[in-house]
Amino acid sequence: MKFICYREFDDPEEPIHPGIIIGSKVLPLARVLTVSEAIHPQNLTIPDDVFELIGLLPVFAKIVKALSVTKILDQIWQEVGVTLAPPVPRPNRIFGIGRNYADHAKEMGNEAPIDEPIVFLKASSSVIASGNQIVIPSWAERVDFEGELAVVIGLAGKDIPREDAMKHVAGYTLFNDVTERNMQTRDIARSQPWFRSKSIDTFGPLGPALITADEIKDPSKLTLRTEVNGELRQEASVGDLVHPIDELISFLSRYFALEPGDVIATGTPAGIGPLKEGDVVTVSVPEIGQLTNPVAAEM
């Protein structure tokens, strides 16, 4: 199931609604309940809390699979002007994983962290949707793109065994871990965290959709690509992660009780580079879609 959040019109003051995409059309999640009353639990409703909803996505995915595609398409809402929001509009937490591709660690002059992952936090306020502008602050020196696969937690857990880790995944989406590189370099030299350079407003493109875990049986077989102005800059298999997804979930849960709506940005491969005003950056995985954002300078 391809889960999205959207606004009915291109107005940031409009409320955000949950939905699914079938083909190129949007079906409000409320319609799923309307057309599936005979097969879903009668007390099933769409929670107002997006994190509770993310925890229920496996249930909705089963309902969608049980419905005939024709029946759903007959109920499609075709309102023009639907505008995507991030599939997790304001994540509980964004866990970034540093240097999780050996080739990226090498290009940055570092060794890949073999013993345990490098973990940093990124502010939820940095998150924007596909189509929104990445805004370069007037004081910024070098702003880099970092295309990544993101894992969204759906089932809460603490001290999760690695063999059970994937049961806690709601689904997968795309992330661009935009970074003010010179600021990060200075902070590292001062033994300070990476949070500031990673958390600037608009530096967290997320989307376009969340593909539920039942649709992606083996994420290690996914291929991640990043293009800038149509030119390929990054390409790697998710199978090349130094610390795979199940290990990351188990590792993080030792220290933090994971909750629905937590996002794990799994790391970026080699090929990162600077962005400038007028650029368009696209992170893509064929099974998920394209996360595309234009780049603008701060006015």
- pLDDT, position 28: 85
Mark 16-30 as b/e (b = at least 16 C-beta within 10 Å). bbbbbbeeeebbbbe
- Confidence label for 79 from pLDDT (cuts 50, 70 and 90): very low
* CA 289/CA 267 separation, integer angstroms: 18
* CA 288/CA 149 separation, integer angstroms: 10
Whether residue 69 has pLDDT greater than 70:
no
pLDDT tens-digit series, residues 34-64: 777 777 777 888 999 999 999 999 999 988 8
Closest CA to 19 of 94, 85, 91: 85
Closest CA to 278 of 259, 251, 297: 297
- Contact indicator for 59, 45 with CB cutoff of 8 Å: no
The reply to whether the predicted model has a pTM over 0.75 is: yes
Residues 167-172, mean pLDDT to the nearest whole number: 98
* CA 173/CA 56 separation, integer angstroms: 17
- Confidence label for 30 from pLDDT (cuts 50, 70 and 90): confident
Most confident of 78-92, 99-113, 267-281: 267-281
33-37, 57-61, 86-90, 191-195 — which is least confidently predicted? Answer: 33-37
Residues near 199 by beta carbon (within 8 Å), at least 6 away in sequence? 121, 122, 123, 125, 126
Whole-Å CA distances, 251 to 93, 194, 236, 242: 15, 19, 23, 13
Q: Which helix (H) or strand (E) holds 74?
A: helix 69-74
Residues 66-89, mean pLDDT to the nearest whole number: 71
- Contact indicator for 291, 176 with CB cutoff of 8 Å: yes
Query: Was domain 94-297 assigned CATH 3.40.50.2020?
Result: no
- Contact indicator for 296, 136 with CB cutoff of 8 Å: yes
In this prediction, what percent of the chain has a pLDDT beyond 90? 78
pLDDT tens-digit series, residues 100-154: 999 999 998 888 898 999 999 999 999 999 999 999 999 999 999 999 999 999 9
Tokens read off for 82: 């639907």
Closest CA to 14 of 26, 3, 6: 6
For the chain, domain boundaries: 2-85, 94-297
Whether residue 71 has pLDDT greater than 70:
no
